[in-house]
Amino acid sequence: MSTTRAAPASSSHRSAPRRGRSGGDDRRLTWRNRLYRFDMRYMPYLMIAPFFLLFIVFGLFPLLFNAVVSLRNYRLDDPTLPYWAGFANFSKLVGDEDFWNALYNTFGIFLLSSVPQLLLALVVASLLNRRLRAQTWWRVGVLLPYVTPIVASTMVFSVFFSRDFGMANWVLGLFGLGGPDDPIDWRADKLHSWIAVATMVNWKWIGYNALLYLAAMQSIPRDVYEAAAIDGAGPWKQLWRITVPMIQPVVLFTVILSTIGGLQLFTEPMLFDPNAQAATGGPNGEWQTIAQLIYKVGWKDLNLGYAAAMSWALFLIILIVAGINYVLTNRLSGGRK
């Protein structure tokens, strides 16, 4: 019996243990055979199962379930409402001034943070892309903001941007701008609060993006530069004519990353507000972002259904903007040959 069984699975026979003893033990052999077949066939699935299970339960399912919630009346403070809301949450969204205001703020802050962020990262990367003494330490150094909790750095910047004794106004005063007699109130209007919040975002991400660019720069073949140098291109020209087009895939990657991150901005605008708990982003919503509004609608106004609808709107917006930015960057960074 055991021989007929073992015969077809000759490969398993070969790889069965050759520890010498118990070669004739039939039961043991079939057991090992089964174990082997199980190991080959099903073990891979067992190994990837934890990832997929956890990811589906806590990642994918919430995302899809969000769609269901957005079609429901889901108010934590009023469970008596009818179960389904249809598209009421979405039609409410269209006429919601808070939503459009938050969208406007989000885009404003996004522009002020992503463009300088990536341009400065490019400059820092090209500085790091020289033969440096203590090379590793320079690279580690520019990562200081990256490991700093946004909660902590935002608290520092909140003090920097205070009206009366803030570091920002003091520095500007040295250059004859504002000054102690006519200090800028960074929390009083849109533009100034956007600049303050964008500064925090820029500070956090320039070093990280610079390292991404640096990695790509170092994989550019050296002879490309040789040719350029013979053509007489200086360092600045080299950066724009050679380096940027050559690292274009990574540039696209960072543009997409900063779009996804920038449009979901939450912690910085949240904690820039001295009255953070209200999540209004300033007394009149001067710098309230969409992520912040979702938080306010969901957990301060307790209207989870409406917050879910807003999340879906944000998802769509991110998709569209990421697509537009992809095309734009593709043109700008590759087209100038």
Partner 1 sequence: MTAVAPPRTATPARRKPRLMARAPQDTPAGFWTYLFLAVTLLFAAFPLYWMFVIATSNDEALAKLPPAIIPGDRFMTNVDEVFSLQDVYFAASLVNSVIVSTVVTASVLFFCSLAGFAFAKLRFKGSSALMLFVVLTLTVPNQLGIVALYIVMGKLGWNGTLLAVIAPGLVTAFGVFYMRQFIVNTVPDELVESARMDGATTMRVYANIVLPAIRPALAVLGLLTFVATWNDFQWPLITLSGTDFPTSMVAVSDLASGNYVIYRRVLAGAFIATVPLLVMLFIGGRQIVRGIMEGAVKS
Contact assessment for residue 196 and residue 274, using Cβ atoms and an 8 Å cutoff: no
CA distance 16 to 136: 49
Cβ closest to partner 1, residue 112 vs residue 128: 128
| Closest approach of partner 1 to the CB of residue 110, in Å | 14
Residue 117 CB neighbour total at 10 angstroms: 23
164, 131, 270, 261: which is closest to 208 by C-alpha? 261
Contact assessment for residue 182 and residue 176, using Cβ atoms and an 8 Å cutoff: no
DSSP at 56:
I
Cβ closest to partner 1, residue 105 vs residue 154: 154
CA distance 198 to 321: 18
Residue 197 CB neighbour total at 10 angstroms: 28
| Closest approach of partner 1 to the CB of residue 5, in Å | 18
| Closest approach of partner 1 to the CB of residue 80, in Å | 18
Residue matched to tokens 């199962």: 49
Q: State the first-to-last Cα distance of the chain, in angstroms, to the nearest integer.
A: 74
Instruction: Take residue 164 and report the two structure tokens written for it.
Output: 């009366």
Cβ closest to partner 1, residue 10 vs residue 136: 136
Instruction: Take residue 159 and report the two structure tokens written for it.
Output: 């003090």
| Closest approach of partner 1 to the CB of residue 83, in Å | 14
| Closest approach of partner 1 to the CB of residue 30, in Å | 15
Cβ closest to partner 1, residue 188 vs residue 322: 322
Cβ closest to partner 1, residue 104 vs residue 295: 295
Cβ closest to partner 1, residue 12 vs residue 101: 12
| Closest approach of partner 1 to the CB of residue 333, in Å | 16
Contact assessment for residue 289 and residue 314, using Cβ atoms and an 8 Å cutoff: no
